Amino acid sequence: MDKGDYSFSTCWNIKRHTAGRSMIEEIKSLGFHNVELNYNVDDQLLTTIEPMVERGEIRISSVHNVFPFVTDKEYDTDSVMLGFDDEAKRSRSVELLLRSMEYAQRYGVKAVVVHPGEVPFTSNIDAELKQLYRERGKDSEAYRTLWQTMMERRQSLSPHYLDRIQKSLEQACEHAARKGWNVTIGIETRSRCYQMPTLQEAELLCERLNGSGVKLWFDIGHAMMMERMGLYNTDGELDRVKHHVFGVHIHETLELSDHWCPYIHSKDLSYFDKFLDIIRRAEVKVYELKAACRAEEIHASHELITGKMQAQ
């Protein structure tokens, strides 16, 4: 079944392949002609992917910063990244983003997906909260107390880190403009409660950087998870930021486990409906699914999504 303009992320099958060509061919076998290269794609995999791009065998819809893969954990997907207080580290983060953008420009890619940063904590308070959520529930006193502790620090420090992130994005956009690159930076809604941006923070950044090429990359599964934990309310906030959305990651969250096929794994045929409009609006639509999702489930999920959208 041809999936048209929809794209599919290599996060689904990257661990099953040592050669880029076979990884991409497996995705093509699902009916996708557009691929998002995720942050684990390394130089070795690119040696056989790039010829496919050059010959028009596949189109790259987006690349995920940091791209290609770097081994330095300081700059992985769960880090302070563009918000570092250390100027050398922040400058290095900007350099890595520019490298991702340069690859995107070379491939004719529309967007670079970026995890811009976080409010740092001394421990992984998100993991502690998720454990309490599962074991005692969101309404338990232990969860509410720890959540309040997290929110107090987050709200106190987020303006500072938002300013740092903005400075980094401005530098990247200025460089891209000088080079004549036509690549959108999509700042992604995240999967941990201390990470940035929330929808409100994304709105602030997009408005401050209006016209610079910075847009919101709305990750649906992450948003579902953060809504359940209490970080924001998509029903109330998504309508306000929808005009900033450039791309979406399409997946569903079962409680606090993400990257499942919408409708299929939850067996809930209505909750995900509220995200169909944002999928329709997005210029780049990428399925970001985990390896456990089987081909028949991916096909069924896509048929439900597209069928529901056509019926609206």
Complete DSSP assignment for 70-84:
---GGGSSSS-GGG-
Q: Is the pLDDT confidence value at 197 over 90? A: yes
Are 287 and 306 within 8 A, CB to CB?
Answer: no
- Average pLDDT (107-122) is 97
Domains of the chain: 7-121+163-311 (3.20.20.150)
What band does 50 get if pLDDT is binned at 50, 70 and 90?
Answer: very high
pLDDT in tens, 137-185: 999 999 999 999 999 999 999 999 999 999 999 999 999 999 999 999 9
pTM above threshold 0.85: yes
What's the chain's average pLDDT? 97
Name the pLDDT band for 84 (thresholds 50, 70, 90): very high
Residues 4-47: pLDDT tens digits? 999 999 999 999 999 999 999 999 999 999 999 999 999 999 99
Q: How many CB atoms lie within 10 A of CB 173?
A: 19
The pLDDT, as a whole number, for residue 236 is 85
Residue of 61, 93, 62 whose CA lies nearest to 172? 93
Does 239 have pLDDT greater than 90?
A: yes
